[in-house]
Amino acid sequence: MASPLADVAEWIEQGLPGALATADEHGQPELCRVWGARLLADQQTIEFVVLRSAAERTLRNLGRKARGSLNIVAPSTYRSFQFKGWVTPQETVDLDFCLHQLDRIDLALAKVGLPPNGGRITVAQCALVMGDSLPDPSWQPEYVALRLAVESTYDQAPKPGAGARLS
């Protein structure tokens, strides 16, 4: 039987912004912006990257493995899904994929009025103290790859009945 996630695989990989929510031991939620995601071959796991400097608390909450919720949204159409399950930090990151996705996120954000390189500037703002211009193009921040083993999926497009569970 086909995975319910297969239907959204192409949509996820077009390069869309998103956020991961985790919680600490006191129940305080913690958000972290997500830069690039893809559905792995098992059709059950989403791999995505976060910026280490912006994700310290998230990574502390996750430890070796913890539950989390991932929201991905298309800025120009408001189509949005939430995926819930166990999140595991990875030891390596596919930087080429990450940068490719960041280029596509830049395009998606520019369509809704953000400046060119809006995603890259945001990344740099999280990792550096800087003005309005991008740092040297050769500069790269440290990314961390995370994997979410999806247990449930929710349709979160803004409409009556938003948040309905899909799988």
Partner 1 sequence: MRPLREIDGCFQGVIPGYLATVSAEGETNVTSISVVRLLGPTRVGLSCQFMNKSLNNLKTTGLAQVLLLCPVTLREFQLDLRYVGAISGGPVFERVDAQVSAAAAQSSMEDVFRLESVLECEVLDWRKTGTQEPQVADTGHAIDSLQLLDSVAQAIQSATDLEALLDATLHAVDEHLGLAHGFFLMAESDGQRFYNLASRGFDTPSFGAEIALGEGMYGTCAERRVAVRSGSLSRDRLMSQAVARASGQIERRLPLPGLEAAESSLAIPVTAKDICLGVLCFQSERPAAFTDEHELMLSIVARHLAAMMNLLDPSQRPALELSGRRGRLGGRALATRVKFFESDGSVFLDENYVIKGTAGRILWSVLRTYVGESREDFSNKEIRLDPSIGLPAIKDNLEARLIALRKRLDERAAGIRIDKTSRGRFRLEVDRELVLEARD
- Of residues 137 and 161, the one with the C-beta less far from partner 1: 161
Instruction: Write down the least CB distance from residue 118 to partner 1, Å.
Output: 6
Q: Give yes or no for residue 128 binding partner 1 (CB under 8 A).
A: yes
Site map 23..62 versus partner 1, x via CB under 8 A? x---xxxxxxx-----------------x-xx--------
Q: Give yes or no for residue 107 binding partner 1 (CB under 8 A).
A: no
Among 126, 140, 149, 166, binds partner 1 (CB under 8 A): 126
- Of residues 2 and 113, the one with the C-beta less far from partner 1: 113
In angstroms, how far is CA 98 from the centroid of its own chain? 11
Instruction: Write down the least CB distance from residue 41 to partner 1, Å.
Output: 26
